[in-house]
Amino acid sequence: MIAEKSSKTIDVQINKDVLVVGAGKAGLTAAAQIAAQGYKAVVIGNKTACACGAGCSKEMQDAGLVEIQDGTSLVDIAGVAGDFRVTLGKGEETCEVTFGAVVVAPQYTGVPLNSAYGLALNDKVISQTQLEALLADDAGKEKLVNGSGSTVAFLSGFGQEGDPTATGRVLASALEIQKLENCRSYIYAGNVKVGAKGMERLFTQGRNEGVVCFKPKTMPTIEQDKENVKIVITDPVVRADVELEPDYVVVEEGVVVGPDNLGIAQTLGIDADVDGFLPSNNVHRFPVKSNREGIYVAQNDVDAANVALQVKALIGDGVRTLTEDIAVVDDTKCVICLTCYRCCPHGAIFWQDGAAVISPAACQGCGICASECPMDAIQLGEFTDADLKSGVKEAVASAADATPSIVAFCCKNSALEAGEAAAQFGHEMPAGFRMVKVPCAGKVDVDFIMNALVEGADGVMVAACHEGNCKAERGNIYAGWRVEEIRQRLENMGLNKDRVVFTTIASNMAREFACKVNEFAEKL
Amino acid sequence: MNSKTGKVMVIGGGIAGLTAAWELSRQNINVELVEKSCFLGGHSIGFTCKATDTCKQCGACSVEEMLANVVNEPLINVHLRTEVCGLEKKDGFSVSLAKSAVEEVAPQGVLKGFSHHNSPLYVVADGAADAPEGAVSIDTLGSEGAVDVDAVVVATGYTPFDPNLKGTYGYDKWDNVITGLDLENIIRENGSLVRPSDGEKPKRIAFIQCVGSRDERLGNLWCSEVCCPYAMRMAGVAKNADPEAEISMFYIDIQNSGKEFPVFYEKIKEEIRFVRTIPVDIYPLEGDSLELRHMAEDEGAPSSEQFDLVVLSVGIMPGMDTAKISEILNIPVNQDGFLDAVPGDSGVFVAGTAGGPGSIAATIAGAGNVALATMNYLGGSK
Query: Domain map of chain A by residue range?
Result: 17-108+258-317, 111-255, 322-380, 385-523
Query: In which band, very low, low, confident or very high, does the pLDDT at A2 lie, cut at 50, 70 and 90?
Result: very low
Most B CBs within 10 Å, among A508, A509, A516, A520, to test the B interface = A508
Predicted confidence (pLDDT) at residue A5 exceeds the cutoff of 70: no
Contact B223 A504 (CB under 8 A): no
What's the first-to-final CA gap in chain A, in angstroms?
A: 34
A42 sits in which H/E element:
strand A41-45
Same domain, B13 and B143: yes
Among chain A residues, the shortest Cα distance to B300 is held by A237
Name the minimum distance, in Å, from the CA of B69 to any CA of chain A. Answer: 13
Of B65, B253, B361, the CB nearest to A287: B361
Range of the domain at B365: 7-157+319-378
CATH (domain of B103): 3.50.50.60
DSSP secondary-structure letter at B44?
G
- Tell me: the pLDDT tens digits for A169-194? 999 999 999 999 999 999 999 999 99
Cα separation, A512 vs A509, in Å, equals: 5
- Tell me: the pLDDT tens digits for A282-296? 999 999 999 999 999
Most A CBs within 10 Å, among B372, B374, B375, B377, to test the A interface = B372
Predicted confidence (pLDDT) at residue A369 exceeds the cutoff of 70: yes
Of A37, A191, A506, the CB nearest to B61: A506
The whole-number pLDDT of residue B90 equals 84
Contact B262 A467 (CB under 8 A): no
**B48 inside 8 A of chain A by CB:** yes
**B302 inside 8 A of chain A by CB:** no
Same domain, B134 and B182: no
Cα separation, B309 vs B193, in Å, equals: 10
Q: What is the pLDDT along chain B (382 residues), one digit of tens a residue?
A: 566 778 999 999 999 999 999 999 999 999 999 999 999 999 999 999 999 989 999 999 999 999 999 999 999 999 999 999 999 998 899 999 999 987 776 667 888 899 999 999 999 887 666 778 888 989 999 999 999 999 999 999 999 999 999 999 999 999 999 999 999 999 988 889 999 999 999 999 999 999 999 999 999 999 999 999 999 999 999 999 999 999 999 999 999 999 999 999 999 999 999 999 999 999 999 889 999 999 887 777 889 999 999 999 999 999 999 999 999 999 999 999 999 988 888 999 999 999 999 999 999 999 999 999 999 999 843 3
Cα separation, B379 vs B382, in Å, equals: 9
Contact B317, B323 (CB under 8 A): no
Of B53, B228, B260, the CB nearest to A274: B260
Same domain, B67 and B150: yes
Of A215, A309, A425, the CB nearest to B372: A309
Name the minimum distance, in Å, from the CA of A51 to any CA of chain B. Answer: 20
Q: Which of B284, B299, B316 is the last residue of a domain?
A: B316
B2, part of any domain: no
**Residues from chain A contacting residue B225 (CB–CB below 8 Å):** 195-196
Of B49, B298, B361, the CB nearest to A506: B49
Name the minimum distance, in Å, from the CA of A143 to any CA of chain B. Answer: 34
**B65 inside 8 A of chain A by CB:** yes
Predicted confidence (pLDDT) at residue A96 exceeds the cutoff of 60: yes
**Residues from chain A contacting residue B26 (CB–CB below 8 Å):** 309, 313
Same domain, B372 and B342: yes
Contact B364 A287 (CB under 8 A): yes
Contact A160 B262 (CB under 8 A): yes
- CATH fold label, A111-255: FAD/NAD(P)-binding domain (3.50.50)
| Single-letter amino acid code for the residue at A444 | V
**B63 inside 8 A of chain A by CB:** yes
For chain B, the domain total comes to: 2
Name the minimum distance, in Å, from the CA of A269 to any CA of chain B. Answer: 20
Please indicate whether the domains covering A322-380 and A385-523 agree at the CATH topology level. no
Q: Which of B316, B347, B364 is the last residue of a domain?
A: B316
Cα separation, B204 vs B235, in Å, equals: 11
**B365 inside 8 A of chain A by CB:** yes
Same domain, B49 and B143: yes
Name the minimum distance, in Å, from the CA of A304 to any CA of chain B. Answer: 8
Of B55, B191, B261, the CB nearest to A283: B55
Same domain, B18 and B138: yes
- B327-331 contacts, C-beta under 8 A, 24 or more apart: B328/B84, B328/B85, B328/B86, B328/B87, B329/B84, B329/B87, B329/B152, B329/B154, B331/B154
Name the minimum distance, in Å, from the CA of A479 to any CA of chain B. Answer: 14
Name the minimum distance, in Å, from the CA of B64 to any CA of chain A. Answer: 6
Query: Taking all residues of chain A, what is their mean pLDDT, rounded to a whole number?
Result: 94
Q: With the CA atoms of B51, B55, B61 and B63 taken in that order, what torsion angle do they form, in degrees rounded to the nearest 10?
A: -110
Percent of chain A with pLDDT over 70: 99
| Residue B131, C-beta contacts closer than 8 angstroms, at least 6 positions apart | B110, B122, B124
DSSP secondary-structure letter at B333?
B
In degrees, to the nearest 5, what angle opens at C-alpha B210 toward C-alphas B207 and B216? 150
Of A283, A309, A417, the CB nearest to B57: A283
User: Phi, psi (5° rounding) for residue B169?
Assistant: -85, -10
Contact B361 A237 (CB under 8 A): no
* Alpha-carbon distance values, A266 to A87, A261, A319, A469, B109 (Å): 14, 9, 29, 22, 57
Of A281, A425, A508, the CB nearest to B64: A508
DSSP string computed for B70-128 = HHT-TTEEEE-SEEEEEEEESSSEEEEEEEPPHHHH--SSEEE-SSTTSSSSEEESS--
Integer-rounded Cα Rg, in Å, for chain B is 22
**Residues from chain A contacting residue B48 (CB–CB below 8 Å):** 508-509
- In this structure, the number of other CB atoms found within 10 A of the CB of residue A335 comes to 13
Residue from B116, B94, B103, B58 nearest B232 by CA: B58
Contact A466 B51 (CB under 8 A): yes
Same domain, B224 and B307: yes
Q: Which of B316, B332, B356 is the last residue of a domain?
A: B316
Same domain, B47 and B99: yes
- CATH fold label, A385-523: Rossmann fold (3.40.50)
Architecture in CATH of A322-380: 2-Layer Sandwich (3.30)
Domain A17-108+258-317: give its CATH superfamily.
FAD/NAD(P)-binding domain (3.50.50.60)
Contact B190, B294 (CB under 8 A): no
